[in-house]
Amino acid sequence: MKKRTQLDTTTKKILLLLVIMAVFTILMAAVRPKFISASNMLNILKDIAVMGTLAMGMTFVLITGGIDLSAGYNVTLGMVVAGVVFMSTSNAWLSILAAVGMTLTIGIVNGLIITKMKITPFIATLATMSVAQGLIQYLGSGKLLKLDDPLFSFLGKSSFFKIPTPAIIMIFVLAAGGLILKNTRLGNYAYAIGCNGQHAKSAGIHIDRTLIIIYAMEGLCAGIASILLGCKVSLVSLNAGGSSTLMDTIAAVVLGGASTAGGQGNMVGTFLGVIFMGFITNTLTLLNVSAVAQDLFKGIVIVLAIVLNSATSRIRFRRKSVNAYAAE
């Protein structure tokens, strides 16, 4: 019964998001007809690929009641590592493996610090974010790093049936995450930990191992996202990714129904949240809004999404209390 209530709550959030997206699309079509053009929609799909790929791992993290502040800079670090290795070896595959290896390591370290040193996810990932920032500057500062190879061009610029390859990769990653979340023990354990860690431990769930796997998964997603970002820009930029990617990703996952308190969320909601954040970014660009103002607006969106989540959680808690009292 509890699981059904949780699913119903998440479904209501998704339905609300769909209504907001529909209204938003209608308004934008009236103000900027170009917004609903096929070419613009394909551009949005391509632009959200990095955010959507990273959002898969972030969904798992938020469901457990955690957070990964290092994720955005981990994406940048993976891209820089790929650039350094490629400029040294001219081997695209080796560059990809190095990038994913680095971001996966950061993810595993996050999990180990949280579980073995008993440090809160906020502080632990804030620390590894600083480490990632330092490595980015150490490895990439003052260097011209290119990802100039047919493989990178294929991953970043090709398409199938007009759908950009980065978008296809993002959809595959989110679909895989959805299957894992819905049909495996890892997904069930993530929900259990997010709902009540003590009860999960009493039920025999290995919390430490589950959290390490989930933060490693987020590191893996950061690695894939770093390659998509690098292939998109070709010339490695130390300013790409970082805090803006982190903000967009968290906003997308929370808008999609995940709760910062844990125990709620799914990949369908995350995918819709990613699309909506893509709509917002694209709209602000079409309206010639400055980058600073865009970040401010997205910050407001995150705050509103968190407030809405908190209000929903309080309402659900009160209903449970009333039902429990009535049952007595």
Residue 45's CB is within 10 A of a number of other CB atoms, namely 22
How high is the pLDDT of residue 220? 97
**Separation CA 219–CA 71 (nearest Å):** 7
How high is the pLDDT of residue 316? 54
8 Å CB contact between 63 and 265? yes
> Token digits for 145?
């790093």
**Separation CA 323–CA 27 (nearest Å):** 41
The pTM of this model reads 0.88
How high is the pLDDT of residue 8? 58
User: Residue 280 is part of a domain; what is its CATH number?
Assistant: 1.10.3470
For the chain, what is the domain count?
Answer: 1
How high is the pLDDT of residue 1? 37
Residue 16's CB is within 10 A of a number of other CB atoms, namely 14
Distances (CA, A) of 99 to 38, 43, 222: 33, 26, 9
How high is the pLDDT of residue 74? 96
Name the residue range of residue 183's domain.
2-327
Mean per-residue pLDDT pooled into runs of 10, the chain (328 residues): 51 81 87 86 92 96 95 95 93 95 97 95 96 94 85 89 93 96 94 91 92 97 94 82 88 88 90 92 85 80 74 55 46
